[in-house]
Amino acid sequence: MKKSLLITYYFPPFTGGISNSLDNFCQQFPSDKIVVLTNIKNDNKNNFKVITKNILIKNKFIWPKWLSLIYHAYRTVKRENIKLIQVGQVIPIGYVALLLKKIFKIPYIVYIYGQDLIITRHSSRKFALIKKVLNCSDGVIANSNFTKCLAIDLGIKNNFIVSNPCPQKVDLNVEKNELQSFKEKNNLQNNKIILTVGNLVERKGHDNVIKALNILNKKINHFKYLIVGNGPYRVKLEKIVNYLNLSDKVIFHNKVNDRDLKYYYASCDVFIMASRILTNNQNLPIDVEGFGMVFLEANLYKKPVIGGNNGGQPDAIDNGKSGLLVNATKVNEIAVAIEKLTNNKNMSDRMGEYGYNRVFSQFTWENQAKKIINYIKSLG
């Protein structure tokens, strides 16, 4: 297997989905076959080597900012005897990988996430460069089938590997007395609990869930909708809640740590995040759910899930088996899905159990990283 260099701006201790995914993929590689070049100091508790350098120039009078990246990447490739480059972010790291391919005659593969392609398509210069980087690469790793299809639609003709992110290993054990105490503390007893976990931004669809629950207000007599997360959309969501007189039903909770989050998942009856695609005046997408890790996290607690039938959500939800996919722009359709799962315990339990088994059989870092490792091996 070729010794490879992952170049990335996002790597622990930087938080976020991209950082977490790249770190976990690296942990599955043989420790002597992977080196990471990044710009944030890492405590490097891992077995593999992490090199920290200032790969972005901070001097405002120097352009492009990634000139230093060329120098550090060049030196690392020579010093570490690198035979393949993994590009963590297509811009601008991909430019550097393309340059090094010409100098050293070594291949490179690129990770894409969906939003990176959507944002840059509005700049003809950047979009042309992205297409060149991806088409000249030796493989493209997409985080979902949606991202792969998006790249193909944008004119990328290459070998694709779809490698999904996976939920973190967490303590799933919740004692009955602890759960009861949590419900009492939050006044959740004798209620159907609907839960959403995620940043409060327009794409996530909290507003349409609230409107759907307003339709169901008389059909589901005792329910609470817990919204966990922070973000700029909260003010608008609170206005909707007050207008619909649902302030006793919809409860906002600030972002909570992993230790406490398990009680929210364990207490809910249904998890929902009806994300939708946001578009501009030309009807081009500007914001989309690239995957939807929270659906898998909820499945880990054997909870059925509801998501939008767009973006990467169909990868995270096996429709009709681990949960339900809906048209996230149609409030009535969201309401029907919520009512179906809250009023049919057998269906909910069956979906929750299926989702739990599916996560452990398909969405492990070992299984997903194996796709990348096997592809690298196929390059010789």
Judged by average pLDDT, the poorest of 184-193, 254-263, 271-280 is 254-263
Coil vs helix vs strand at 306: strand
For 64-73, which contacts have Cβ atoms below 8 Å and span 24 or more sequence positions? 64/92, 65/92, 66/92, 66/93, 66/95, 66/96, 69/7, 69/93, 69/96, 70/96, 70/99, 72/37, 73/5, 73/7, 73/37, 73/97, 73/100
Are 90 and 116 within 8 A, CB to CB? yes
For residues 158 and 306, state if they share a domain. Answer: no
DSSP string, 66-124: THHHHHHHHHHHHHTT--EEEESSTTTHHHHHHHHHHHH---EEEEE-SHHHHHHTTSH
The pTM for the full model equals 0.90
Q: DSSP state, 31? A: G
Distance (Å) of CA 228 to CA 40, 55, 58, 270: 29, 36, 36, 14
Q: Are residues 152 and 196 in the same domain?
A: no
Would you say residue 10 has pLDDT above 80? yes
Which are the contacts of 262, defined by CB distance < 8 A and separation ≥ 6?
170, 171, 172, 174, 301
Distance from the Cα of residue 70 to its chain's centroid: 29
| Token pair for 371 | 């796709």
- Distance in angstroms (rounded) separating the CA atoms of residues 177 and 192: 19
Average pLDDT score over residue span 34-61: 81
349 and 231, same structural domain? yes
Q: Is residue 171 part of a domain?
A: no
Do 112 and 205 lie in a common domain? Answer: no
Helix (H) / strand (E) containing 262: helix 258-267
User: How do residues 117-135 score in pLDDT, each as one tens digit?
Assistant: 988 877 788 889 999 999 9
**Long-range own/partner contacts, residues 245-248 (CB < 8 A, 24 or more apart):** 246/210, 246/213, 246/214, 246/217
**Does 279 reside within a domain?**
yes
What are the φ/ψ torsions at residue 183 (nearest 5 degrees)? -65, -40
Same domain, 80 and 97: yes
Q: Are residues 99 and 116 in the same domain?
A: yes
Domain count, the chain: 2
- Give 327-359 pLDDT, tens digit per residue: 999 999 999 999 999 999 999 999 999 999 999
For residue 316, tell me if it sits in a domain.
Answer: yes
Whether residue 66 sits in one domain with residue 13: yes
Give the range of the structural domain holding residue 354, as residue numbers without chain letter.
176-362
Bond into 314 cis (ω within 30) = no
pLDDT surpasses 90 at 169: no
pLDDT tens digit sequence for 306-332: 999 999 999 999 999 999 999 999 999
**In this structure, are residues 335 and 214 in contact, taking their beta carbons and an 8 Å threshold?**
no
Percent of the chain with pLDDT over 90: 79
133 and 31 share one domain: yes
Backbone angles phi, psi at 142, to 5 degrees: -100, 145
67-94: pLDDT as tens digits: 889 999 999 999 999 999 999 999 889 9
Angle (CA) 92-276-143 rounded to 5° is 40
Is there a cis peptide before residue 92, judged by omega within 30 degrees of 0?
Answer: yes
- Indicate the SS3 state at residue 190: coil
The domain that contains 188 carries what CATH number? 3.40.50.2000
Cα dihedral across residues 201, 205, 207, 213: positive or negative: negative
Mean pLDDT of 48-64: 77
Whether 323 maps to a domain, the answer reads yes
- Residue 209 token pair: 């869930």
- Return d(Cα 256, Cα 42) in angstroms, integer: 25
Q: Check pLDDT > 80 for residue 61.
A: no
Angle, helix 345-362 to helix 331-342, in steps of 10 degrees: 100
